[in-house]
């Protein structure tokens, strides 16, 4: 925490650079005004021809955008979309074309800024991808901007999880493509394991605009994308283990960590499991698989909650992205935990997967040559964006002053007191005709609150991951007079709440009532998410107000706040809202936030060497895919020379060598996963876990090539012995794609599990001695 605080202070002290650059971009935007009237008076056909020629791909334009270009873009938007771009939007466009990411407040029109930036980048010879967090936003933004692109002769398309192979191939040929980031990642993964050139979709990763960049990079950055082939699942063992764990009791047989990120067995729990499963010693090497299923089932039963962490719909487990409040489509837990959750809920078990390849969000973004981003909350992660992606950040102030009133927090000791205060404030607002949006932390909390409010005579509309398909209609009505909406984080990003629901007269009445009232019933895991929720009110100079109504019984406070502060808050003579209570809530959020940032940084640090190794393999793989073995032979000869061996092989079909590379890489990834999971144990020896991990991977990579050499030598004899399908022909199953959802560590820390295992083994030895 101290290191993070110093980093944040350094970021604030060094903010003059980006802020001064903001003035440069604002001056460029103001310069566009000199051409505005002239362009407005130009005949439509003449202007269309001028604009079309100005934004033809490949024109010799400077890296930075000119005031005249900005003026042309503003006039195009006015004529085609009926919108006059503000100075802030033009300044943000100028910044992003120059490679500077932009913090632009919610409601300031980032969708138009992204389209303007794409047009200017296209004119400089770049193909552009505009990446969002989900299918809904990609489709919505594409639909709203397609007319602008068409006017300038720029082809565009959008990709979703439902887009077919042919649709993807066609989309990637367009000049501008809207898509969720994970869909681009999945296409890159499919291409990386393709066994025929014609089956690849080949997205061209040139310039990229990251909409809600902090959500894409930080909030989703710890979840790796995976492509795998199905294996046979040990159904009976999983059901047996889950059934045993379901019968255990908290405290008696296991203990859950206060922050709900780990669970450990007690001695009595270990004995009970061994007895019911008929295992002599759960911690012996021959029981390793059973122990892994036990740990997974413990996490599924004791930590993960239906409705908070996942839903069960149509006989399937659907995971919830807690940072976004949405269903995490094509996400799953690591194999053991996924199966344990499915067994717990009584749904059909999915097949386990042999991982063929994996890619991090960092790897997807790093594939682009010109990354740039925008969001309403970038400054808090500016240091990470600069360190990991070379993306400087600036802030463009809103066009109109913010008149929103952020009222002081109300803090209570208990959740009941918190609810009573919430009801009082909501009723007063609704009596005035003021619309109210209440932000909650989870699906169960939003539904519990909805039931409680209905019980006191109110009629709330609840929006969460269960009904996210209704998001557009719910949000469209949330600003209407006297409307009460309860939501999870789903309403925090990309949600434009229009006061009055689009009716000018009703809008005026709502403004007179004070605008939208936003109430937060929790501090989210990041200050950025809090700011996104507050930003729903007072957009573009409108009236609005926000208030946080908090409780010391909040799970995040109980898990992360220092116990000394909680104790002082309990005995505070004034109220729970005294200095100690406020400090406890702030400390809990900061601890949660830094924990998540540290996990994100670990993903990048531990993935860097593996990505470099994969890049080497992909170079050799590309040659084999094209039917050439020269690169493979050269690399094999070089690696053989290090071990004083002489590498030769009979002429072999390049597809066979390609399969050799892929089979060994899959085995390599499985071994790397084990090493990564135990890397933290090096800290017990006073060594750097990351340095030791990289050292081990260096040696493993040499052995990888030796395994490939051995497999290539014996490929001919294996084929003649009847194993031809191992090396040629179509795989038995098409690869599946998913993202491992690792926003929390449901297994607890590796160090914690290690210590727990040591204690358990010690207890086993003590029992054995006493029995003897």
The predicted structure's pLDDT at residue 616: 93
The predicted structure's pLDDT at residue 97: 94
The predicted structure's pLDDT at residue 256: 85
Residue 108 among known ligand-binding residues: yes
Closest CA to 649 of 666, 661, 637: 637
Strand partners, 374: 102, 211
The predicted structure's pLDDT at residue 725: 46
Closest CA to 349 of 228, 238, 227: 238
Report the range of poorest mean pLDDT among 374-378, 467-471, 521-525.
Answer: 467-471
Across residues 285-307, what is the average pLDDT? 84
- Which residues lie closer than 8 Å to 770 by C-beta, 6 or more apart? none
Most confident of 82-86, 269-273, 282-286, 492-496: 82-86
d(CA 295, CA 677): 14
The predicted structure's pLDDT at residue 716: 58
d(CA 703, CA 105): 51
The predicted structure's pLDDT at residue 259: 63
27-55 confidence digits (pLDDT tens): 999 999 999 999 999 999 999 998 988 88
Specify whether the CB–CB gap between 308 and 442 falls below 8 A.
Answer: yes
112-141 confidence digits (pLDDT tens): 999 999 999 999 999 999 999 888 889 999
**Distance, C-alpha 30 to centroid of its chain:** 36
Question: What count of Cα atoms within 13 Å lies in the side-chain half-sphere of residue 3?
Answer: 5
**Distance, C-alpha 686 to centroid of its chain:** 33
Across residues 453-460, what is the average pLDDT? 93
560 pLDDT above the threshold of 60: yes
Most confident of 210-224, 562-576, 719-733: 210-224
The predicted structure's pLDDT at residue 579: 83
Residue 109 among known ligand-binding residues: yes
Specify whether the CB–CB gap between 378 and 214 falls below 8 A.
Answer: yes
Q: Residue 8 has which token pair?
A: 């944040």
Cα angle: 54, vertex 60, 64; to 5 degrees: 80
The 176-180 sheet, strands edge to edge: 156-158, 176-180, 128-132, 207-211, 370-375, 101-104, 393-396
Question: What count of Cα atoms within 13 Å lies in the side-chain half-sphere of residue 304?
Answer: 35
d(CA 65, CA 67): 7
Residue with tokens 């594409």: 142
Strand 310-313 and strand 316-321: the pairing is: antiparallel
Q: Which residue spans within 488-619 are E strands per DSSP?
A: 516-520, 544-551
220 pLDDT above the threshold of 90: no
Report the range of poorest mean pLDDT among 67-71, 290-294, 465-469, 588-592.
Answer: 465-469
pLDDT-derived band at 526 (thresholds 50, 70, 90) equals confident
d(CA 203, CA 451): 47
The predicted structure's pLDDT at residue 45: 92
The predicted structure's pLDDT at residue 59: 53
Domains in the chain, start-ordered, CATH in brackets?
Answer: 2-222+367-396 (3.40.50.300), 233-350+751-771 (3.90.1440.10), 405-551 (3.40.50.300), 627-734 (no CATH)
Rounded to 5 degrees, what are φ and ψ at 596? -70, -40
Q: Residue 510 has which token pair?
A: 């709502």
Q: Residue 389 has which token pair?
A: 């992606």
Specify whether the CB–CB gap between 580 and 664 falls below 8 A.
Answer: no
269 pLDDT above the threshold of 70: yes
Residue with tokens 């002429």: 651
Please tell me the pTM assigned to this model. Answer: 0.83
d(CA 633, CA 630): 5
Strand 254-256 and strand 263-265: the pairing is: antiparallel
Mean of all residue pLDDT scores within the chain? 83
Selected residue with higher pLDDT from 197 and 334: 197
424 pLDDT above the threshold of 90: yes
The predicted structure's pLDDT at residue 3: 43
Residue 111 among known ligand-binding residues: yes
d(CA 214, CA 224): 16
303-336 confidence digits (pLDDT tens): 888 888 888 988 888 888 766 666 777 677 876 7
d(CA 134, CA 116): 21
Residue 107 among known ligand-binding residues: yes
Q: Residue 376 has which token pair?
A: 């309403």
Residue 762 among known ligand-binding residues: no
d(CA 300, CA 248): 13
Residue with tokens 């990048």: 604
Q: What percent of the chain has pLDDT over 70?
A: 83
The predicted structure's pLDDT at residue 35: 93
615 pLDDT above the threshold of 90: yes
The predicted structure's pLDDT at residue 334: 72
pLDDT-derived band at 685 (thresholds 50, 70, 90) equals confident
Identify how many contiguous H helices and E strands the chain contains and give both numbers.
30, 23
Cα angle: 696, vertex 352, 620; to 5 degrees: 50
748 pLDDT above the threshold of 60: no
Across residues 14-19, what is the average pLDDT? 44
pLDDT-derived band at 292 (thresholds 50, 70, 90) equals confident
The torsion angle over the Cα atoms of residues 617, 622, 624 and 629, rounded to 10 degrees, is: -80
Report the range of poorest mean pLDDT among 223-232, 579-588, 618-627.
Answer: 223-232
Rounded to 5 degrees, what are φ and ψ at 744? -125, 160
Q: Residue 99 has which token pair?
A: 């490679």
649-661 confidence digits (pLDDT tens): 556 778 888 988 9
Across residues 361-365, what is the average pLDDT? 92
């Amino acid at each position: 925490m101290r290191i993070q605080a110093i980093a944040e202070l350094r970021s604030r002290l060094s903010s003059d650079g980006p802020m001064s650059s903001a003035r440069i971009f604002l001056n460029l935007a103001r310069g566009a005004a000199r051409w505005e009237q002239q362009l407005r008076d130009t005949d439509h056909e003449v202007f269309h021809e001028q604009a079309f020629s100005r934004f033809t791909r490949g024109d010799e334009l400077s890296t930075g955008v000119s005031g005249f270009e900005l003026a042309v873009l503003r006039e195009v938007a006015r004529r085609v979309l009926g919108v006059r771009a503000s100075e802030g939007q033009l300044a943000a466009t100028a910044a992003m074309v120059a490679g500077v990411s932009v913090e632009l407040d919610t409601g300031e029109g980032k969708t138009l800024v992204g389209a303007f930036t794409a047009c200017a980048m296209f004119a400089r010879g770049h193909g552009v991808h505009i990446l969002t967090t989900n299918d809904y936003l990609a489709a919505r933004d594409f639909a709203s901007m397609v007319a602008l692109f068409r006017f300038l002769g720029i082809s565009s398309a959008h990709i979703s999880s439902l887009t077919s192979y042919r649709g993807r191939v066609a989309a990637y040929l367009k000049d501008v493509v809207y898509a969720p980031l994970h869909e681009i990642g999945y296409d890159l993964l499919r291409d990386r394991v393709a066994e025929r050139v014609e089956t690849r979709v080949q997205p061209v990763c040139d310039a990229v605009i990251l909409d809600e960049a902090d959500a894409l990079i930080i909030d989703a950055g710890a979840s790796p994308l995976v492509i795998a082939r199905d294996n046979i699942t040990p159904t009976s063992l999983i059901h047996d283990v889950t059934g045993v764990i379901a019968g255990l009791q908290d405290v008696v047989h296991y203990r859950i960590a206060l922050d709900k990120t780990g669970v450990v067995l007690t001695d009595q729990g270990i004995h009970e499991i061994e007895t019911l499963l008929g295992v002599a010693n759960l911690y012996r090497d021959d029981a390793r698989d059973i122990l892994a299923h036990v740990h997974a089932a413990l996490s599924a039963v004791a930590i993960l909650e239906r409705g908070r962490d996942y839903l069960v719909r149509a006989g399937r487990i659907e995971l919830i992205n807690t940072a976004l409040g949405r269903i995490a489509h094509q996400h799953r837990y690591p194999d053991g935990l996924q199966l344990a959750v499915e067994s717990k809920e009584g749904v059909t078990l999915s097949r386990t997967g042999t991982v063929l390849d994996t890619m991090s969000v960092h790897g997807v973004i790093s594939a682009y040559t010109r990354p740039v981003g925008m969001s309403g909350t970038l400054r808090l992660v500016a240091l990470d964006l600069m360190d990991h992606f070379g993306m400087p950040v600036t802030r463009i102030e809103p066009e109109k002053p913010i008149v929103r009133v952020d009222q002081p927090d109300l803090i209570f000791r208990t959740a009941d007191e918190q609810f009573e205060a919430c009801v009082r404030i909501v009723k007063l607002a609704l009596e005035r005709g003021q619309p109210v949006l209440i932000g909650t932390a989870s699906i169960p909390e939003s539904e519990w609150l909805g039931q409680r409010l209905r019980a006191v005579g109110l009629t709330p509309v609840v929006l969460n991951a269960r009904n996210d398909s209704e998001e557009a209609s719910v949000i469209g009505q949330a600003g209407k007079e006297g409307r009460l909406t309860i939501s999870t984080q789903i309403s925090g990003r990309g949600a434009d709440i229009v006061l009055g629901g689009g009716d000018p007269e009703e809008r005026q009445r709502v403004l007179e009532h004070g605008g939208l009232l936003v109430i937060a019933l929790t501090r989210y895991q990041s200050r950025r998410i809090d700011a996104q929720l507050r930003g729903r009110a007072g957009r573009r100079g409108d009236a609005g107000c926000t208030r946080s109504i908090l409780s010391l019984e909040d799970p995040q406070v109980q898990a992360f706040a220092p116990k000394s502060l909680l104790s002082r808050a309990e005995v505070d003579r004034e109220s729970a809202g005294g200095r100690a209570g406020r400090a406890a809530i702030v400390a809990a959020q900061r601890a949660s936030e830094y924990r998540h940032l540290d996990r994100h940084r670990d993903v990048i640090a531990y993935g860097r060497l593996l990505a470099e190794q994969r890049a080497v393999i992909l170079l050799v793989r590309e040659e084999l895919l094209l039917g050439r073995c020269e690169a493979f032979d050269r690399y094999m000869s070089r690696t053989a020379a290090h071990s004083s061996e002489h590498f030769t092989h009979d002429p072999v079909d390049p597809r066979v060598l390609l399969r050799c590379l892929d089979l060994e890489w899959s085995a390599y990834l499985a071994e790397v996963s084990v090493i990564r999971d135990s890397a933290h144990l090096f800290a017990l020896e006073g060594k750097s876990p990351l340095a030791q991990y990289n050292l081990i991977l260096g040696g493993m990579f040499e052995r990888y090539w030796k395994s490939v050499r051995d497999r290539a030598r014996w490929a001919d004899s294996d084929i003649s012995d009847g194993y031809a399908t191992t090396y040629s022909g179509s795989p038995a199953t098409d690869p599946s794609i998913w993202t491992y959802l690792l926003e929390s560590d449901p297994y607890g820390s590796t160090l914690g599990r290690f210590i727990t295992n040591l204690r358990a083994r010690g207890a086993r030895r003590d029992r054995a001695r006493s029995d003897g």
